Each structure stands twice: as structure tokens, then as C-alpha cells.
Amino acid sequence: MKRRLLTYIIIGLVFTSCKPKYDQTSPVIAPVTEAVFASGSIEPKDAYTLTSLSDGFIVKSYVTENDLVHDKQLLFQLDNRQQNTQVKIAETNVQYAKISASNNSPTLSQAKAQIDAAKIKLQTDSINYVRYQHLSTTNSVSRADLDNARLAYESSVSAYKETVESYKVAADKVKQDLANTQSQLQNAVAGNQYYNLLAIGESKVYQIFKKQGDLVRKGDQVAQLGNPDSIVINLDIDEGSISKIQLGQQVLVELNTEKNKTYEARVSKIYPHFNETSQSYKVEARFLQEMPGLISGTQLQANIITAKKDQAMLIPHIYVFSGNKVLMQNGKKIDSVSITTGIISQEWIEVLGGLKTGDVIVKEKNAGTSGNTPSLPK
């Protein structure tokens, strides 16, 4: 029994010592696809936010989500009773201002009467002065009487000019008052329209943030609308991948609301600026098929296909080390070999140079991963 047990131990040691230290594989020829992963959301194209320009309660809401609306269609009406009061006050002020600015207004009539009185006095003093001038030639009046007549005449001229100027000032003032009250009325009427929230162009209602009965403040968002015929996919791309993105590239989209279902889209726009908040670049894509019933804001994941080959020499990621080097078995020796890489997918790396299909490459067991070779690309 001892001899048999010793034999088993020796056999076990032999098998253990012969157990290979390396996993090995060879390049394969297969199709490969390179894709850039991106997260994003669904948004309406040319979307705009309907914003309140005044304070008030929503007394009437005329739309719900998914409604199609026309240009200048009334969507929400705010309580405008206070503003209506301002309009009525302004209208009353305009009526009084029109009366004051009319030719027969009390203000202007009084000024005209003062002009008439000054004119009569001027005519009387003028006649009297001329008469005294004639009398002075025959020494029928004293020099003092002539001077008094002249002074009275000159005083009447000044008084008459003052009354005429006063009338012009009064007339200008009532005209200006009328213009001011009319302007105030226009502003009150214009302010009244801010209580009616209207659509801008042909639109679709995607989201409603305030409902009937809610209090809104100036600047509050009430609803989101957008082009009813255009839905876009907004994608966030990291700095390391944006250089690979080009217009027209295929995008495979999976909506969070429909897991395991893929839709096809194309890259339609690449924005040239970097978003500091999200630390990413913004890219737009368009679906290739009609997508009825999409909800604005729906989150999604996407793969942007940046490169594809039907026949490529591939090796698994886990056999490539830093500096694009691999360990190649050369008889009983293992040499470090530099390779030139091409397309890089999630599991596979395309080899453009440095290896042949028959070469054997190795890696230490359990180095970097569990050592399991990925399934062949399809």
C-alpha cells in the first residue's frame, strides 16, 4: 500500500511539473467592428420652452401633452384681472386727456380768453399812444403824459406776447399729456397680452410643467414645445473618442424604455464646442425610421460604428501588453514582439503588422483576466 501511494504521489508531481504556465492562441481572420459608446436622450428638434412673462394663476389650460398646435394658438391663460383694471384706468386717463387737448377744453379756452383780453387792451393802448403822439406835436399834452401812454402800450405788447406764449405752452402740455396717456394705455394693453401664452409656429406639446390652477411667476417654465416632425438623439461623447466621430456614421440605439431592442440612426450633427459641465462633446443623430410615440427626455445608450472590416486579423485584448507588444512562442523560446494595431473592439484588436496567422502568442495564466479566451467575433 505504501509503494502504491508513493507511485500516485510521483505521478501527481510529474503532471504538476508538466502543467503549462501559459495560455496560448493564434491570430484569427474574422469580421470586426469598432464602436464608440455614448449615452444620451431623445429631444425634439428646434424645441423651445414656453415661459411666463408675468405673475398669475393659470385659470385655463387648453392643451395636453402630444397635442399639435398652430402658430399663435392660445395654450394657457393667466388671471389678468389686475391688469384689466390698469387698462381701464389708462383708458379713462386717455379720455380726460383728449378732452383737455380739444380746442374747446377749459384749459385752452381760458388761455384763449386771456389772449383776447390782452389783444383788446393792446389795441386800446396802441390807439391811445398814437393819439398822444399827434397831440404832442401841437404841445397839447405834456411830455409825461406821452411817456405814460408809451409805457402803457409797451406793457400791453409784452402782456399780449406772454398770453400767446402761455397758450402755446398750455397747448403743448395737453398734447403731451394726451400722448403720455395713450402710451400708458398701449403699455397696459401690451402687458395684458402677456397673460395669454401662445404657441410659436406649428408645434407639438412635449411636456407641461404647470397645470391649471398653478401659480406661475415671471420667468417660470410652463411647457416645452418643438417641431412635430423632427426628433433628434442627443449624445455625449468623451474627449478621447470625438475624433473618431463623422457625419453619416451608423448609430445603434437602445432606449431605456425598450431594453434589448435596437434602432438604427445616423450621425447628423457634431457640435464644435466642449461642454465643461458634462465634460463631453455633443453629437446629434437622427432615426432612420418613423418613431411614433417617443417621449421627450427618454434616456438611451448608443454605439456609434466608427470602423468595420469583413476580413481582419484579430487577437484577443488580453494578449496585448503596454506598448502594443505580445509574447510570441518561437520553438522553446518566448520572444517579445511589437505589433501594429488597427481597429479595436471591445474584446478584439486588429493586427496590421508584426504577426502572421500561424504564429502562436502566449500570456501567463490568469494575467490580467481569468485567462478565458473571448468568443470569436461574429
Distance between CA atoms of 320 and 16, rounded to whole angstroms? 27
Provide DSSP, 122-137. HHHHHHHHHHHHHHHH
- For 212-235, the pLDDT digits (tens) are 999 999 999 999 898 877 788 999
CA 69 from centre of chain: 20
- Does residue 378 have a pLDDT over 70? no
| Overall average pLDDT of the 323-335 stretch | 90
Whole-number pLDDT of residue 217: 93
- Does residue 324 have a pLDDT over 80? yes
Distance between CA atoms of 228 and 47, rounded to whole angstroms? 10
Q: In what order do the strands lie in the sheet with 333-338?
A: 22-25, 361-364, 325-330, 333-338
Whole-number pLDDT of residue 371: 43
Whole-number pLDDT of residue 304: 95
Provide DSSP, 201-258. SSEEEEEE---TT-EE-TT-EEEEEE-TT-EEEEEEE-TTTGGG--TT-EEEEEETTS
| Overall average pLDDT of the 277-288 stretch | 92
| Overall average pLDDT of the 39-59 stretch | 89
Whole-number pLDDT of residue 26: 92
- Does residue 14 have a pLDDT over 50? no
- Does residue 11 have a pLDDT over 50? no
- Does residue 48 have a pLDDT over 80? yes
Distance between CA atoms of 14 and 2, rounded to whole angstroms? 18
β-strand partners of 60: 77
| Overall average pLDDT of the 249-262 stretch | 92
| Overall average pLDDT of the 91-118 stretch | 88
Q: Are 238 and 282 spatial neighbours (Cβ–Cβ below 8 Å)?
A: no
Res. 8 pLDDT band, cuts 50 70 90: very low
| Overall average pLDDT of the 343-370 stretch | 83
- Does residue 86 have a pLDDT over 90? no
